[in-house]
Amino acid sequence: MLAGGADIGFSQQMLGHASLDTTQIYASVSIHQLKAVHDATHPGARLIARDAKGTAGEQGDDGVRSLLAAEE
């Protein structure tokens, strides 16, 4: 949301953080990086990948590496 231009105060409220300092911790991580890690490691994401491609985790580490390389 922040990368798309959302105000950090709105993000704080949506995440339920009492302090803006807490929200700022998460703001330093790119959403693309978070998605890449989630897709490669979260069991639910692997199930979706398996259903879409035929085998669980087929995208796995290669997907993370390509997204992180694009961030650099």
pLDDT in tens, the chain (72 residues): 777 778 889 989 999 999 999 888 877 777 777 788 888 888 877 666 555 665 544 445 566 666 666 655
Q: Which domain holds residue 29?
A: 8-71
Structural domain count, the chain: 1
Residue 56: which of 45, 69, 65 has the closest Cα?
45
Look at residue 42 and tell me if it is in a domain. yes
Look at residue 51 and tell me if it is in a domain. yes
Look at residue 34 and tell me if it is in a domain. yes
Look at residue 30 and tell me if it is in a domain. yes
Q: Are 1 and 11 in contact (CB under 8 A)?
A: yes
Look at residue 1 and tell me if it is in a domain. no
The answer for residues whose C-beta is within 8 angstroms of residue 5's C-beta and 6 or more apart is none
The answer for residues whose C-beta is within 8 angstroms of residue 39's C-beta and 6 or more apart is 45, 49, 59, 63, 64
**Largest separation between any pair of C-alpha atoms in the chain:** 43
Look at residue 3 and tell me if it is in a domain. no
